[in-house]
Amino acid sequence: MRRNIKVFEFEKLTIKPDEFGRSLSKTELNKLYEFNDCNRNIYFVPIRDGVKFCNYVGVIQIGTLTIEILPKTDQLKSTETDFQKWHIALMDMLRVCKLVSISSVSEANLKKKYNSILDLYFEMYVSEVEKIYHKGLIKKYRTVSGNLNSFKGRIDFNKQIQQNLIHQERIFSKHQTFDYDNLINQILWYGLKVLKELTFDTNLIERIRKLELVFPKVKLMPIKANHFEIIHLNRKNVIYQKALEIAKIIILNYSPDITLGKDNMLTILFDMNKLWEEYIFRLLKRIKRSDVKVSRQAKDKFWENRIIKPDLLIKHTIGDNTFNYIIDTKWKIIRNNKPSDDDLKQMFSYNIYFEAEKSLLLYPSTKDTIEKFGMYWKGREKPENNQCKVGFIHVLNEDGKLDYSIGEKVLNKILVF
């Protein structure tokens, strides 16, 4: 029986049912331990008879169990409404960051149809493969060798001597053939096979079966990371781009259970700090202002071979003058609205290196907070030329949906004179 569990960042999940009836079997818990051990223990913290999740969001599928890990911007007790609200918010955030494609999946379906982002990626992949098939799969030349009854191409003399001294009516030869059996189609084919093992959606399974019936014969081989690295997209195969991106996510995060054959594992997880940074950047880029330029990951030499790299650099032009501002996004809840010394020291360095008079530490929040710029007392002749504000932004609007006006609100927090 299929089970779907939703949890928030930093929540615990154990083999004992909690107030929402959420629990793990011992087999599922051991699979999570094994997965975490193989990934430097960054995704969750092992606890007694369970795990405590970290700042990664996304989905983990183990056999018939799907665990969706959701973001959250407060420490209040969770409710069923919170799970649904942040489930939709996460999908929307991935869409804004272009980590899911709205061309494959409508926005309405994005919010209503899918139990988890895993179902969404599965749907996107099958839709992309169907689109490629209808537009026409790519053919390429490849070298084929074999023991033939008629001469074709050129003779492989070593193999001819080894195998055909007696059967001289046969010729071992190598020749070129032009067909669909090439790496890019092999990846699509392998992705369909993996997906068929993972999905529980009967409609999706039926669509995969239809593709299997019409898909040209290609070699089924295990696809690894290096196979994706050697593919070069051009104008002839650019249609494959989205399908290959999703195939890479599915295939490289797939862990088949070769002993039991029933607890296959797939993970699609995102570092919430990076996702938050990307989300803020995308919303800032939507603002059409000729006097404001937003750039990401500007960098400068710091010490020896190390570099210094703020999240976002804002350039504000007024007349003939351009002013620099730094924004560093932090996806965490801080106590008493006070940042750590490390965060403040980091912003001090950014101000000096990037000649910024003001910077902003940006945190998510659900509370309205009075904000003001604080001054660093060293580093500049005048303290007012070296300031940092601790800023807080509501991720969701009053209706419990993502607030797409965040970009303007963030600019208003820092473009202050």
Given a contact cutoff of 8 angstroms between Cβ atoms, the answer to whether 254 and 264 are in contact is yes
Angle at 366 between CA 336 and CA 410, to 5 degrees: 95
Structural domain spans, the chain: 3-136+183-271, 140-179, 286-414
Tokens of 362: 């940006």
Evaluated on CA atoms 22, 26, 28, 30, the torsion sign reads positive
Interval 87-141: pLDDT, tens: 999 989 998 998 865 444 444 444 445 667 888 889 999 999 999 999 999 988 8
- Which distant-in-sequence residues (6+ apart) come within 8 Å of 324 by Cβ? 313, 314, 315, 354, 355, 356, 357
The three-state secondary structure class of 315 is strand
CATH of the structural domain 286-414, one choice from 3.40.1350, 3.40.720, 3.90.190, 2.40.160? 3.40.1350
Predicted model pTM: 0.83
Which residue carries 């084919």 as its tokens?
A: 189
Q: Return the pLDDT at 367.
A: 85
Residues of the chain with pLDDT under 70: 100-115, 144-169, 171-175, 257-263, 417
The reported pLDDT for the residue numbered 112 is 46
SS3 281: helix
Integer-rounded Cα Rg, in Å, for the chain is 27
Distant-in-sequence, close-in-space partners of 417: CB < 8 Å, separation ≥ 6: none
396 DSSP 8-state letter: B
Identify whether the C-beta of residue 301 lies closer than 8 Å to the C-beta of residue 327. Answer: no
- At 59-93, the pLDDT tens digits run 999 988 999 999 988 878 888 889 999 999 998 99
